[in-house]
């Protein structure tokens, strides 16, 4: 005769088996690690699985949650390894955060950017198609795909003509459109978004705002003269906190129609700034007075994207999402993150 405790054990095991399996490629990165945090905070209904590249992926961003996730070694540019990884992961929902995302090196390494951003995506799509998976597959595109948009054509909408001006943008367009092809041709449940600038802690110092914050932290620690080296700083963006952005990504897989394109980002006037305004605000937050900045030619890109301001009403209407974290908090969180890394000697 079965006892109550035996039945309870069976129910617990069944409940464990029913957890939704969430796969995050690039879980060790900026967005991937924040997305993992977000999913784990939703409760025990989800099991988080992430990809890493053997000894090549730094684990710093996910170290506090290592005991709560499953990591799978995989080079996504390898089709055999990718198919095997997906078979092992058996995901119910996929967020494809693995990418070459820093724009500047893309001029010198255009093939690398196409290999990682396009070829790896094809490998995932092909494996999903071959396996018959119906898991929602989120592809996070970039506002950078729109390139040099004239002021008269703002705000950017899903119908705005793409004018990419760097190899990174081209690779992201290719990634997005091959996802659309696999949806139309084979019914893969591809969720397509293009996100505009999202910032916050854990973003590496090769990007504008963290680069300024890092230098300020170094100056405050007495490790750098009170002079910040910058590139072109007149470009204008609408900024969103990364924690708001990962919530948007999650909602996209629950509310958005596969195959359609959605733009994601803050439309609040208080969130629209030039990089110069970001820099000067960060300098104003410093404990050191009299910090100056100057342009260093090595940080100036061959072409610029002067303005990326989007109309994201379609996405907000469908999902009910609205960014809640103010622009000022983006800068505070980023500066505090780099202060902590400089203090710890890990910057």
Residues 6+ apart with CB under 8 A from 47: 19, 20, 21, 22, 70
Q: What is the 3-state secondary structure (H, E, C) of 185-241?
A: HHCCCEEEEEECCEECCCCCCCCHHHHHHHHHHHHHCCCCCCEEEECCCCCEEECEE
Q: Which class does domain 8-201+241-265+308-324 fall in?
A: alpha beta
Q: Are 240 and 266 in contact (CB under 8 A)?
A: yes
pLDDT digits over 126-159, tens only? 999 999 999 999 999 999 999 999 999 999 999 9
CA atoms of 174 and 192, how far apart (whole Å):
12
Unique residue bearing structure tokens 């072109």: 232
The span from the CA of 316 to the CA of 322, in Å, is: 7
What does the radius of gyration of the chain's CA atoms come to, in whole angstroms? 21
Residue 153, both tokens: 């054509």
pLDDT digit of tens for each residue in the chain (347 aa)? Answer: 445 554 454 444 444 568 999 999 999 999 999 999 999 999 999 999 999 999 889 999 999 999 999 999 999 999 999 999 999 999 999 999 999 999 999 999 999 999 999 999 999 999 999 999 999 999 999 999 999 999 999 999 999 999 999 999 999 999 999 999 999 999 999 999 999 999 999 999 999 999 999 999 999 999 999 999 999 999 999 999 999 999 999 999 999 999 999 999 998 999 999 999 999 999 999 999 999 999 999 999 999 998 999 999 999 999 999 999 999 999 999 999 999 999 999 99
Beta strands 69-73 and 93-96, pairing class: unpaired
| Distance from C-alpha of 181 to C-alpha of 183, rounded to nearest angstrom | 5
- Report percent pLDDT > 90 for the chain: 93
């Amino acid at each position: 005769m079965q006892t109550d405790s035996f039945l309870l054990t069976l129910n617990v095991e069944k409940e464990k088996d029913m957890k939704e399996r969430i796969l995050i490629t690039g879980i060790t990165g900026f967005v991937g690690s924040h997305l993992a945090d977000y999913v784990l905070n939703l409760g025990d209904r989800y099991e988080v699985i992430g990809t890493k590249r053997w000894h090549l992926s730094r684990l710093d961003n996910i170290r506090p949650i290592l005991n709560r996730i499953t990591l799978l070694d995989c080079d996504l540019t390898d089709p055999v390894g990718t198919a095997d990884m997906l078979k092992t992961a058996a995901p119910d929902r996929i967020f494809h955060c693995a990418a070459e995302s820093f724009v500047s090196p893309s001029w010198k390494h255009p093939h690398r950017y196409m290999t990682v951003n396009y070829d790896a995506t094809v490998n995932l799509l092909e494996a999903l198609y071959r396996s018959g998976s119906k898991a929602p597959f989120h592809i996070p595109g970039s506002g950078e795909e729109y390139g040099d948009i004239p002021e008269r054509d703002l705000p950017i909408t899903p119908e705005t003509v793409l004018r990419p001006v760097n190899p990174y943008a081209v690779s992201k367009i290719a990634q997005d459109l091959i996802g659309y092809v696999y949806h139309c041709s084979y019914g893969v449940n591809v969720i397509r978004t293009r996100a505009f600038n999202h910032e916050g802690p854990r973003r590496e110092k090769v990007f504008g705002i963290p680069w300024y914050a890092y230098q300020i932290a170094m100056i405050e620690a007495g490790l750098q003269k009170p002079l910040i080296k910058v590139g072109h700083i007149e470009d204008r963006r609408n900024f969103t906190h990364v924690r708001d952005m990962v919530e948007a990504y999650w909602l996209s897989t629950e509310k958005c129609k596969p195959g359609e394109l959605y733009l994601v980002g803050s439309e609040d006037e208080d969130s629209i700034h030039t990089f110069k305004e970001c820099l000067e605000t960060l300098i104003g937050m410093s404990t050191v007075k009299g910090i100056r900045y100057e342009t260093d030619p090595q940080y100036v890109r061959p072409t610029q994207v002067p303005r990326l301001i989007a109309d994201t009403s379609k996405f907000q209407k469908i999902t009910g999402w609205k960014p809640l974290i103010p622009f000022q908090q983006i800068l505070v969180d980023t500066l505090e993150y780099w202060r902590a890394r400089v203090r710890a000697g890990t910057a």
